[in-house]
Structure 1
Amino acid sequence: MFERFTKDARAVVTEAVVHAKRAGAETVEETHLLLALLDRKGSRGSFALTSLGLPARRGSVERALAEARRRGGLSRADADALSGLGIDLSEIVSRVEEAHGQGALKAERSGTGGGGTGRRRGLVRRSGHRPFTRGAKDLLTDSLRIALANRDRSIGDEHLLLAITARPGVPAEVLADHGVTYESVRRVLYGGGEAKAG
């Protein structure tokens, strides 16, 4: 599939690995792909983000992503679901941080499922390779589906952006909070470019 990626899309994937390394993450996650998209200049994805006013609010996006990491990567929808069960996520985060220090839940998930983290950590340390989480891999697959649905020949960074906005989770939630939704990005890219940030 990677051979179908444009130069810009390949750069996003490569830069996502750099973001993961910089954060000390064992795996490359959807959030790292979003941060790499925010770094792009002169591409269709960056055009859409600029049209929707996101570069001017990058600091706010990064703070929102950091806050989600502080909550252990849970979205507000996750927190609301837990609240419906009588579980106060803010209280849990406060108690964990009280016992283990500020940001104790920030630890990156391995993405390997139960029991495989020790072996994976050793692999990361020796080879420097950071595998993509299931969510990040699914995002790349979704970008292919979106490109095909739009009859585009290649997968560009704009398809990665559309895939991020279409998937449930923290990256889409943070983007939506900043007026960047699947519909608004799609209007900018395919519908005349008249979308406005919400």
Structure 2
Amino acid sequence: MFERFTKAARAAVTGAQEECRATSGRKIGTGHLLLALLRGDGPAARALRGRGLEIGALRASVARRAGEGDLDAEALRTLGIDLDAVREAAEGTFGEGALDAPAGRFRKGHIPFAPESKKALELSLRHAIRLKHDRIDDGHILLGVLHDEKTEAVRVLVAEGVDVDALRADVTRLINAAAA
């Protein structure tokens, strides 16, 4: 499948890995893909910027929502576990950032894609086929990321006030124009 990726699509995949490394992430999520797409200059970036998104604000929003699927703080609270109190106690004893991943811990070697990111990349091929395009561009990746409304990336975009249906329409129009 990756042999069908354009230079912009490949840059989005490697850029997502860079975004994940920068945050010492364990897996490349759809939020990382979204950030990498916004950093580019293809149809996906133009569509995202057209919706008023900026890299700094989006990066902060992705960081705030990182790990939402890993631990449910509210569920732990019902068991009497307050994650904020645990962090405060650990940092009081061991210093600030004691619970953070050590610098560089996940920065070297292969970083796997989270299941939802793998699915988004698979869906990018389906969107290219649906649109009768023989190559997968960054816009197709964005359509794959936007395909499931439950992904981290879509939740981030909705929280930022983005009309996801309008964004889909924008990127579809831009990739069709680029393919013509």
Normalising by structure 1, what TM-score? 0.68
For the pair 1:59 / 2:56, whether they are aligned, the reply is yes
- For residues 121-168 of structure 1, the C-alpha deviation after alignment (integer angstroms, 9 at most, x for no partner) is 8xx78x722222222211111211222222222211112112222221
In structure 1, distance between residues paired with 2:147 and 2:97: 29
In structure 2, distance between residues paired with 1:86 and 1:130: 28
- For residues 1-41 of structure 1, the C-alpha deviation after alignment (integer angstroms, 9 at most, x for no partner) is 10111111011001112222222234322222122112112
For structure 1, the 5+ residue unaligned runs are 108-120, 193-198
Alignment equivalent of 1:142, drawn from 112, 119, 123: 123
Aligned-residue sequence identity (percent) comes to: 34
In structure 1, distance between residues paired with 2:161 and 2:143: 13
- Tell me what 1:9 maps to: 9
How many residues in Structure 1 have an aligned counterpart in Structure 2?
165
In structure 1, distance between residues paired with 2:163 and 2:98: 31
In structure 1, distance between residues paired with 2:100 and 2:33: 18
Alignment equivalent of 1:169, drawn from 147, 151, 156: 151
- 1:137/1:183 Cα in 2 relative to 1: closer, same or farther (>3 Å)? same
- Tell me what 1:117 maps to: none
In structure 1, distance between residues paired with 2:98 and 2:141: 30
- 1:95/1:188 Cα in 2 relative to 1: closer, same or farther (>3 Å)? same
Given that 1:16 and 1:28 are in contact with CA atoms closer than 8 Å, whether structure 2 keeps it comes out as yes
Q: How does 1:24-103 map to 2 (within 5 A)?
A: 24-41=24-41, 43-55=42-54, 58-69=55-66, 73-74=67-68, 87=77, 92-101=82-91
Given that 2:65 and 2:156 are in contact with CA atoms closer than 8 Å, whether structure 1 keeps it comes out as no
Given that 2:27 and 2:113 are in contact with CA atoms closer than 8 Å, whether structure 1 keeps it comes out as yes
- Tell me what 2:19 maps to: 19
- 1:139/1:106 Cα in 2 relative to 1: closer, same or farther (>3 Å)? farther
Shift of 1:74: 0.9
Given that 2:143 and 2:171 are in contact with CA atoms closer than 8 Å, whether structure 1 keeps it comes out as no
Given that 1:12 and 1:36 are in contact with CA atoms closer than 8 Å, whether structure 2 keeps it comes out as yes
Normalising by structure 2, what TM-score? 0.73
Superposition CA RMSD, Å = 3.2
- Tell me what 2:112 maps to: 131
